[in-house]
Amino acid sequence: MHTNLCDGADSPEDMVKAAISSGLKHIGFSGHFDPNVPMDITKYKQEIRRLKKKYKDEIDILLGAEVDLLYDVNEASDCEYIIGSTHSLSIDGGTPSVDDTSEKLESLCNEHFGGDYYKLTKAYYELESTVIETLHPDFIGHFDIVTKFNGGNRYWDEDDCRYLNPALETMEYLAKSGIPFEINTAAYYRGMRDEFYPCTTLLKALFGFGGRIVISSDAHNRSVLTGAFDKAVQKAMECGFTHCLLLVSSSGGIKWEELPLDGL
């Protein structure tokens, strides 16, 4: 979940209250640690720790960080979990984003990849393949967010092997290290895509690679805390998965619990 301390709409406390009233037992804050999204990190950590204590009898609150691959991960070293996300490329000392606006994606592609989106997406997945060694995250965020503006294959064909092969290669490499992947429902419930991250093709491949999944709403306001979770459960089962993971507090830290999808 994101809050108004970075690019979300609601205060952390309003997010907590909404989660309690909708019956959630565990929630995770994942403020952006990102060169392109400003956040007062000290204030963020203080506020989530304050809420964690205040509401400890009502809900399990985890202090997490969604760390961009190009950010200094040491800033998040005292957070309870890290989502490893790739939002940008690293080019000529700059960090141009691939998920900000379609215009920015177009100029990035035209200026640095001669208008070839297969080259751009290959560069994206090559960078993403370094996420474990760089960040040591607890799970991978929105694996294929580079497709955010590619609805209807507007810029490239997502079934073309020039796109799929680099994506699959990185996915296999990361999955075989054992790190879970998030099924991120945000673009789906915002009506931007009719797919989750990762898309159906990649989710099926992930199952084949022995990958594990976490279901996440990436909520930026309190009305979508569990946005499209029912559809994500259905989709995961269609792709072969029988379980998903849940991150919870345990004495002195955090641990993964495994939940059967059937019946969620």
* Nearest distance from C-beta of residue 142 to Zn ion, angstroms: 6
Query: Residues binding Zn ion: what is the number (CB under 5 A)?
Result: 3
By C-beta, is 7 or 116 nearer to Zn ion? 7
Whole-number minimum distance, CB 48 to Zn ion, in Å? 16
Q: Which of 7/100 has CB closer to Zn ion?
A: 7
Q: Which is nearer to Zn ion, 85 or 121 (CB)?
A: 85
Convert residues 221-240 into a mask of x (bound to Zn ion by CB under 5 A) and - (unbound).
--------------------
Question: Are the beta carbons of 140 and 181 closer than 8 angstroms?
Answer: yes
- DSSP output for the chain: ---TTTT-SS-HHHHHHHHHHTT-SEEEEEEEEBTTB---HHHHHHHHHHHHHHTTTT-EEEEEEEEETTS-GGGGTTSSEEEEE--B--BTTB--BSSS-HHHHHHHHHHHHTT-HHHHHHHHHHHHTTHHHHH--SEE--TTGGGTT-GGGSSS-TTSHHHHHHHHHHHHHHHHTT--EEEE-HHHHTTS-SS-BSPHHHHHHHHHTT--EEEE---SSGGGTTTTHHHHHHHHHHTT--EEEEEEEETTEEEEEEEESTT-
**Binding to Zn ion by residue 148, rule CB under 5 A?**
no
2 versus 122: smaller Cβ distance to Zn ion: 2
Sheet of 26-33, strand order: 26-33, 60-68, 81-85, 139-140, 181-184, 213-216, 243-250, 253-260
Closest distance to Zn ion from the beta carbon of 54 (Å): 24
Nearer to Zn ion, 85 or 185 (CB): 85
> Binding pattern to Zn ion, positions 1-40, x when CB under 5 A?
-x----x---------------------------------
Smallest separation, CB 161 to Zn ion (Å): 27
Q: Give the residue with the Cβ less far from Zn ion, 117 or 197.
A: 197
Q: How far is the CB of 25 from Zn ion (least distance, A)?
A: 24
From residue 95 to residue 134, the character string flagging contacts with Zn ion as x (rule: CB under 5 A) and all else as - is ----------------------------------------
Q: How far is the CB of 86 from Zn ion (least distance, A)?
A: 9
Q: Minimum distance between the CB of residue 53 and Zn ion, rounded to whole angstroms? A: 25
What are the angstrom distances between the C-alpha of 69 and each of 80, 94, 117?
18, 13, 21
Q: Is 68:86 a contact under the CB 8 Å cutoff?
A: yes
Binding marks (x or -) toward Zn ion, 61..100, rule CB under 5 A?
------------------------x---------------
Residues that bind Zn ion (CB under 5 A): 2, 7, 85
